Amino acid sequence: MSSMKPKSTIVIFGATGDLAKRKLFPSIYKLYQKQKISEEFAVVGVARRPHTHESFRNYVKETIEEATKQELIDETFISHFYYHPFDVTNTDSYQQLKSLLEQLEEQYNIPGNRIFYLAMAPEFFGTISANLKAEGLTATNGWTRLVIEKPFGHNLQTAQKLNEEIRQAFSEKQIFRIDHYLGKEMVQNIEVIRFANAIFEPLWNNRFIANIQITSSETLGVEDRGRYYDHSGALRDMVQNHMLQMVALLAMEPPIKLTTDDIRSEKVKVLRALRPISHDEVDQYFVRGQYGRGFIRGKEVVGYREENNVDPNSNTETFVAGKLMIDNFRWAGVPFYIRTGKRMTEKSTKIVVQFKDVPMNLYYPTGETIHPNLLVIHIQPDEGITLHLNAKKSGESMKTTPIKLDYCNNCIDGINTPEAYEKLLYDCMRGDATNFTHWDEVASSWSFVDPISEVWENTKAVDFPNYEAGSMGPKAADQLLEKDGFHWWPISSTM
Ligand SMILES: NC(=O)C1=CN([C@@H]2O[C@H](COP(=O)(O)OP(=O)(O)OC[C@H]3O[C@@H](n4cnc5c(N)ncnc54)[C@H](OP(=O)(O)O)[C@@H]3O)[C@@H](O)[C@H]2O)C=CC1
Ligand SMILES: O=C1O[C@H](COP(=O)(O)O)[C@@H](O)[C@H](O)[C@H]1O
C-alpha cells in the first residue's frame, strides 16, 4: 500500500442507479473534498440511459447536492465525470470504453490504475468481468480492481459459480467484495475495543461471558426493492453477510498482525466453527417473521404482502432471530443471539455483551438479583460504548444500583464519521482489502445459512404475517432466549 494519494479511474457500472446516486457519488465527493484522493482522477459512468458527459455531470451534481444538502460549487470536481452509455451485455461497446479510459489516463496522467465498480444487479457480474478481460480492459501498466456489490450469490452453489466466473478474469487479490457494515466506524471499532484494552480480552471467553446479542433493526419496509427482496428475504439480505461478519469480528482470535490476510484468516476460522444447523434443527435455533400492518412513529403502514412487487401470498421472511453456537475452546457454550428485521420499532444496530453473574450475591441474600455487567457497542445511529456496572446506592446501606460508563463517538465536536462507502472506496483505491470479504468467508457464511433457507423455502410459514409493523418482531424471538434463561436487552438509545 502506498502512502501517496491514490490515483485511478473509477468505472461505475450502474451509474444511473440508486446505489451510485445515494452512496457512490457523494463518497467520491467527500474523498475529494478531504483531499484524500489525487486531484487527477476520472470517473466514468456506464448505464443504458442516454446521457452526454455534460448531462451526466449535471445529474451527478444534483445527486451530490441532494445527498449532502449543500450546493456543489466546485465545478472542477464535476468536470472529472464522464459517461459511456451502453448495454453491458453488448461486447462491442467495451472497446470504446477502453479507448475512453486510455484517453483519460493520458489526460490525467493516471498510470493505468482502474477500479471497476459493479453497482448493478448480480446477474451481470460474470458477464461484465468476462467482457472486461476479453476486450483487454484489465491489462494495463498499473493495477485493476473489481468491486462487487451484494448479493454475492443466492446460496453456496450460485456463489461458487459466480466466484468461478469472476475468477476467470480477476485474481482473489483484485476482487473487493463489499459488505458495507465493515465500513462502519463502530464495526471497525470492535477489534480495537477488544485488542487495545487489557481489561476486556482476558474476560472475552466462555468463562466470563454469558451471551452476546446483536440486533440490527430497521423501521423501513422494503421500499422500492420488493422485486429483489421477495426472492432474498432477511436471512440472505442481512444475516449471511452483515450479521455473520459482526459475529466473526466479535469472536475471532487476536490476529498475529493487523494485516488483511491475518485478520481475514481469523474471521474465517470463526465462520468455520459455527455449529452447523441441520434441517431438523432449524426451528430450534432460528425464528422467522414477516411484518403485517402497523404503525411506525404514529404513521400507519401496510403489511409486507401489500408492498409493491411483492407476492400477495409471499412466504419471504422480513425478520430473523437466531441462536448461533461457536464450537471452539473460547466460545463453547456461549450463545450468540442475532436478530434483524424490517419495520421494527427503531432503526438501531447494537451489540450487547452480557457477562456472567458474580459467583455469589453478597448484597441481596434474599434472592433479588444484581444487574449483570453489560458492554454495549452502539453501531448506529448513535455510535459509542456503554459499560454497565453496579455501584452502591447512595444513602442506603449496601444496596446496589446499576450505573453506566458512557462514551459517545459521534457526540464529540469535529468528529464527522465518514460514511461506510466513503471509507471502503478509499480502502479499495489504496489496495487495502481488510474490510472486504474474502471468498472463504463468503463460502463459509453460505454453508451455514443454506440449510435454514432450504427449510424455510420448502415449508410455508402458516402464521405469516406474525409481527406488527412497529414492533420488535414475533413472540417466538423472545422465547428463543427465554428458554435459555435470557432476554433481549432493549435497543433504545438509553441502553
Ligand atoms: N441501492 C442500495 O441501497 C443497495 C444496493 N446494493 C446492490 O448494488 C447493486 C445496484 O443496486 P441499485 O443501484 O439499487 O440498482 P438499480 O436498479 O437502482 O440500478 C441498476 C443500474 O444498472 C443499470 N443497468 C441495468 N441493466 C443494464 C444493462 N443491461 N446495461 C447497462 N446498465 C444496466 C441501470 O441503468 P439503466 O437503466 O440506465 O441501464 C442502473 O444504473 C445491486 O447489486 C444491489 O443489490 C447493495 C446494497 C444497498
Ligand atoms: O445491505 C443492506 O443493508 C441495509 C441496512 O443497512 P444500514 O447501513 O442502513 O443498516 C438494508 O436496508 C438492506 O435491505 C440490505 O440490503
pLDDT in tens, 163-220: 999 999 999 999 999 999 999 999 999 999 999 999 999 999 999 999 999 999 999 9
Q: How far apart are CA 314 and CA 305, in angstroms?
A: 6
At 415 the pLDDT is 61
Instruction: Respond yes or no: is residue 51 known to be catalytic.
Output: no
Q: How far apart are CA 387 and CA 228, in angstroms?
A: 39
Q: Dig out the grid coordinates for 284 from the structure.
A: 430450534
What angle separates helix 439-458 from helix 260-273, to the nearest 10 degrees? 30
Q: Is the CB of 45 under 6 A from ligand 1?
A: no
Q: Is the CB of 237 under 6 A from ligand 1?
A: no
- On whether the CB atoms of residues 178 and 424 are closer than 8 A, the answer is yes
371 alpha carbon – ligand 1 mean position (Å): 48
Point out the catalytic residue in the list 51, 84, 154, 242. 242
What angle (nearest 5°) sits at the alpha carbon of residue 377, between those of residues 373 and 378? Answer: 130
At 74 the pLDDT is 82
Sheet of 42-47, strands arranged across: 81-85, 42-47, 9-13, 114-118, 144-148, 175-177
At 112 the pLDDT is 93
Ligand 2 atom with the smallest distance to the CA of 151 is 16
pLDDT higher than 70, residue 447: yes
Integer-rounded Cα radius of gyration of the chain: 24
What angle separates helix 439-458 from helix 156-167, to the nearest 10 degrees? 150
pLDDT higher than 90, residue 72: no
323 alpha carbon – ligand 1 mean position (Å): 33
Where along the chain do its domains lie?
8-149, 182-420+437-483
pLDDT tens profile 369-382: 899 999 999 999 99
Instruction: State the pLDDT confidence band at 261, using cuts at 50, 70 and 90.
Output: very high
- Strands 348-355 and 335-341, by their bridges, are unpaired
Q: What are the binding residues for NADP(+)? A: 14-21, 48, 87-88, 150
Sign of CA dihedral 215, 218, 221, 226: negative
Which ligand is closest in space to the CA of residue 88? 1
Which ligand is closest in space to the CA of residue 220? 2
Q: What is the ipTM of this complex?
A: 0.98
List Cβ neighbours of 414 (8 Å cut-off, separation of 6 or more).
none
- On whether the CB atoms of residues 183 and 420 are closer than 8 A, the answer is yes
What angle separates helix 260-273 from helix 244-251, to the nearest 10 degrees? 110
What is the CATH topology of the domain spanning 182-420+437-483? Dihydrodipicolinate Reductase; domain 2 (3.30.360)
Cβ neighbours, 10 Å, residue 317:
28
DSSP, collapsed to helix, strand or coil, labels residue 322 as: strand
At 413 the pLDDT is 59
Which ligand is closest in space to the CA of residue 124? 1
Mean pLDDT of 429-455: 98
Instruction: State the pLDDT confidence band at 364, using cuts at 50, 70 and 90.
Output: confident
What is the reported pTM?
Answer: 0.96
Mutation to probe ligand 2, out of 218, 236, 319, 378 (largest number of atoms < 8 A from CB):
218
Ligand 2 atom with the smallest distance to the CA of 222 is 14
pLDDT higher than 80, residue 156: yes
H or E segment and range at residue 283: helix 282-285
Mean pLDDT of 441-470: 97
Average pLDDT of the chain, as a whole number: 95
- Strands 319-325 and 299-301, by their bridges, are unpaired
At 2 the pLDDT is 53
Select 8-149's CATH number: 3.30.565.10, 3.40.920.10, 3.50.4.10, 3.40.50.720: 3.40.50.720
Q: How far apart are CA 85 and CA 12, in angstroms?
A: 11
Mean pLDDT of 478-494: 93
Among protein residues, the one with the nearest Cα to ligand 1's atom 35 is 47
Q: Is the CB of 122 under 6 A from ligand 1?
A: yes
Mutation to probe ligand 1, out of 48, 127, 152 (largest number of atoms < 8 A from CB):
48
Q: Is the CB of 237 under 6 A from ligand 2?
A: yes
Mean pLDDT of 68-88: 92
Instruction: State the pLDDT confidence band at 135, using cuts at 50, 70 and 90.
Output: very high
72 alpha carbon – ligand 1 mean position (Å): 25
Question: For the ranges 212-216, 250-254, 290-294, 405-409, which has the lowest average pLDDT?
Answer: 405-409
Among protein residues, the one with the nearest Cα to ligand 1's atom 22 is 14
Q: How far apart are CA 418 and CA 180, in angstroms?
A: 12
Q: Is the CB of 16 under 6 A from ligand 1?
A: yes
More confident: 247 or 491: 247
**What percentage of the chain has pLDDT greater than the value 90?**
89
H or E segment and range at residue 391: strand 384-392
Mean pLDDT of 392-406: 89
Mean pLDDT of 97-111: 96
Q: Dig out the grid coordinates for 462 from the structure.
A: 402458516
